[in-house]
Amino acid sequence: MSGKYKVNKNLKHSYINYRNVFIIWEFYLFLLTLLICCHAQCQERKLIIVDSLSNKPIAFAHIFTGNNNEGLASDVTGAVILKQGYKEEAITITHLGYYTKTLKKEVYNDTIFLKEKNTNLTEVIVQNKKVQTLGYTNLKKTRYITTYGENIILAQHIPNKTGAAHTLKSLNYKIRSKKKDSLLVRAHIYSVDPITKKPNKELLSKSIIYPVRRKKGTLSIDIQDQYIEMPSEGLFIGLEWLGENNDAAYGFTAGNDSSINAFVTLARLKDKIWLQSQANGSYVRASFGVEVY
């Protein structure tokens, strides 16, 4: 009996020792995890982008750090989180309607002020001119293709077939969202680069952001207050998908014409590298258009 009792007692002591080691190991593992999390959080930084006059937050400003071509975007509160490594890099903040600001490393505050551009628009008097629709929103056999990710700009060349002088009235986009009120988009209008024939200069003087109110149909954006003339060489109509919840699609028709002016292109926000889009081996023409006087 005594031998058996001694064996059981030793086993009990061994169990207690292993249990103590396990508890200590768990404690050190918790401390290590805590230190790693704290270090990661210390490497992050939250910035708020605001208007320099009104102090109102600026939503969907583009923030680029170092060699990051895709960049980040501020949310509806003007906030953006810079990830690890931001202290080693300068940052650049851009937003349509505001002057671009570049700040060197570690010299910027948590609140960054952007100055709004003062644009003097030339008023155009329209006297009973007939409204015409240009572009590809009325084409039959329109299909839909999903977007490629956050902060992508799609641009479609709209030719001026008559060559006559026109004033833009509205921008039209055929798009589809999986659920109502789940998508925000920003309109763009670009001139045509005379050499590359790709999108060139932004013609809008302010940021126009719209919610998509319908699951499927044509989104029409009134731009009469911009007084933009339709050039003889045409222009590019662009649409930028904003935010994280951008599970949507745009209308398109397919073809074999690979010319730059014929089909939709994609853009990487920082370097403005425009690339043609294809679907199932065919080039894609976005179902975008304009109404003009």
Report d(CA 112, CA 51) in Å as an integer: 9
Tell me the pLDDT tens digit for each residue of 113-149. Answer: 999 887 665 555 555 568 888 888 887 778 887 765 6
Is residue 179 pLDDT above 70, yes or no? no
Q: What is the model's pLDDT at position 33?
A: 62
Tell me the pLDDT tens digit for each residue of 79-95. Answer: 888 775 555 567 888 88
> What confidence category does residue 153 fall into, taking pLDDT thresholds of 50, 70 and 90?
confident
132: exposed, middle or buried (Cβ count in 10 Å: 0-12, 13-18, 19+): middle
Enter the pTM of the model: 0.73
Is residue 241 pLDDT above 60, yes or no? yes
Indicate the domain borders of the chain. Answer: 44-114, 132-292
Is residue 51 pLDDT above 80, yes or no? yes
Q: Which CATH number fits domain 132-292: 2.40.50, 2.60.120, 1.10.10, 1.20.1300?
A: 2.60.120
Is residue 50 pLDDT above 80, yes or no? yes
Is residue 19 pLDDT above 70, yes or no? no
Cα–Cα distances (Å) from 91 to 48, 70, 86, 97, in that order, read 13, 13, 8, 19
Report d(CA 164, CA 159) in Å as an integer: 11
Sheet containing 91-94: order of strands: 72-73, 62-65, 91-94, 101-103
Tell me the pLDDT tens digit for each residue of 180-230. Answer: 656 788 899 999 999 988 899 999 988 888 887 766 788 899 998 888 888
Domain 44-114 indexed as CATH 2.60.40.1120: yes
> What confidence category does residue 234 fall into, taking pLDDT thresholds of 50, 70 and 90?
very high
Q: What is the model's pLDDT at position 24?
A: 66
Q: What is the model's pLDDT at position 41?
A: 47
Partners of 209 in the beta sheet?
186
Q: Which amino acid is at 157?
A: H
Tell me the pLDDT tens digit for each residue of 242-288. Answer: 866 556 788 888 766 666 656 677 766 656 678 777 777 778 888 89
Q: What is the model's pLDDT at position 72?
A: 80
- Two tokens, residue 56: 């109102």
Please give the residue that has the higher pLDDT: either 181 or 48: 48
Same fold across 44-114 and 132-292: no
Q: Percentage of residues in the chain with pLDDT exceeding 70?
A: 65
